[in-house]
Structure 1
Amino acid sequence: MSSKLKTVSKAMVCLGLVATLGLGACGGGSGGSGGSGSRNRANAVETPLLKTTWQLSGIYLNPADPGALPQDAAGTVEIVFGQSTIAGISACGPIRGQVEYLIENQPARPEEATAIRFQEMDFSITDAENCIGGRAYVQEKIRTLLSGDFLIQRPGADSLALTAATTNIDAPVLRWVSR
């Protein structure tokens, strides 16, 4: 294929991605939102942060912790980010709250944000009969952790890592995968 045809083909694919996912979908090159470099991966289109169902896949509290969820809690916690809200469900009940997207502690558009602030979180237990064992453990961990500021990292196109923004070297991390 000629170089000109390849360029036109790439441009058409990029236009299609922009139409469906926004400008961040074409990535590449320098500039952009900054961050760790994980935002622009060659040949990988990231799942959008907003309006995607994110399923909890791991809770990492310290370096020695394998992060695996208890078997009876795997797949039981899901969240969806909105423009200023978060909604979800766990085996124990609904998850609701307010979120603010940030860059260097200043308000930012969600698709450009490098951090997120969780506020006014509500983890109501509406299914106490099902909220036992590993499910109760996970409910308690996310209830205590999902408050305050978290750094947003995208280790893969369909994964999300939220790291507590703290001065501690071993900050807790919540890992999510898109569904």
Structure 2
Amino acid sequence: MSRRTIPLLFSGLVAGTALVACTPPHNSDITWQINEVYLDPATPASLPGDVTATMVMGGATVTGDTGCAAYQGRVKFDNLDDPHSVTFSTMRFQETQCIGAQRYFHDALVTLLDGEFAVTKTDKEMRLTKQPAGLDAPSIRLVATQ
């Protein structure tokens, strides 16, 4: 083994160790189906059967589909392993031409997915409640699909 190989092997081990230390939280990369979007008591909350909206959150990013268009952005958790709050930022949504109920929920998600949310989570269900929370605060209910 030449002297050049040893530093390369060592740097590869260090890089590999860094990757292991940065593994995402145990609940990341779960595909969540968005089942309900609560804006206020007078508007429908449940997505119609023909609308499928999803969300996948990693350690620092979020991606998904509103049922009309794909989106992506940044997320910041207060605690990666047991989150009580998450902040969405730099959200980008693809342009869409959808109409009706699909467009209603697309527009609702475009409006909501920015800023801080309180997180209430079980293994199979999660609720994101817009902060600061008040009476009838907007929220999103998600169900794990995996």
Q: TM-score range by the shorter chain?
A: 0.7 to 0.9
Larger Rg: 2
| Match 1:162 to one of 102, 123, 128 | 128
| Match 1:143 to one of 96, 107, 110 | 110
Letter in 1 for 2:129: T
> In the alignment, is residue 91 of structure 1 matched against residue 67 of structure 2?
yes
Report the TM-score, using the length of structure 2 for normalisation. 0.74
Report the TM-score, using the length of structure 1 for normalisation. 0.62
Kindly report which structure 2 residues correspond to 1:64-79, keeping only aligned pairs within 5 A, or say none.
67-73=45-51, 76-79=52-55
Report how far residue 63 of structure 1 moved.
4.2
> In the alignment, is residue 56 of structure 1 matched against residue 34 of structure 2?
yes
**Cα deviation code 1:6-31 (max 9, x no counterpart):** xxxxxxxxxxxxxxxxxx9xxxxxxx
Q: Is the 8 A contact 2:66 2:109 kept in 1?
A: no
Secondary structure, in 3 states, of the residue corresponding to 1:136? helix
CA distance in 1, matches of 2:117, 2:71: 17
Query: What's the Cα RMSD here?
Result: 2.0
Q: Which residue of 1 aligns with 2:119?
A: 152
The count of aligned residue pairs is: 121
CA distance in 2, matches of 1:145, 1:163: 10
CA distance in 2, matches of 1:80, 1:167: 23
Percent sequence identity is: 31
Secondary structure, in 3 states, of the residue corresponding to 2:129? strand
Unaligned residue ranges in structure 1 (runs of 5+): 1-23, 25-47, 103-107
CA distance in 2, matches of 1:83, 1:95: 17
Alpha carbons of structure 1 residues 60 and 82: separation in structure 2 relative to 1, 3 Å = same
Unaligned residue ranges in structure 2 (runs of 5+): 1-24
| Match 1:111 to one of 70, 81, 92 | 81
Report how far residue 54 of structure 1 moved.
0.3
**Cα deviation code 1:18-48 (max 9, x no counterpart):** xxxxxx9xxxxxxxxxxxxxxxxxxxxxxx5
Q: Which residue of 1 aligns with 2:9?
A: none
Q: Which residue of 1 aligns with 2:10?
A: none
Displaced runs of 4 or more, over 6 A? none
CA distance in 2, matches of 1:69, 1:98: 24
Letter in 1 for 2:62: I
**Cα deviation code 1:41-83 (max 9, x no counterpart):** xxxxxxx53110000000112345562223432xx21110011
CA distance in 2, matches of 1:93, 1:66: 20
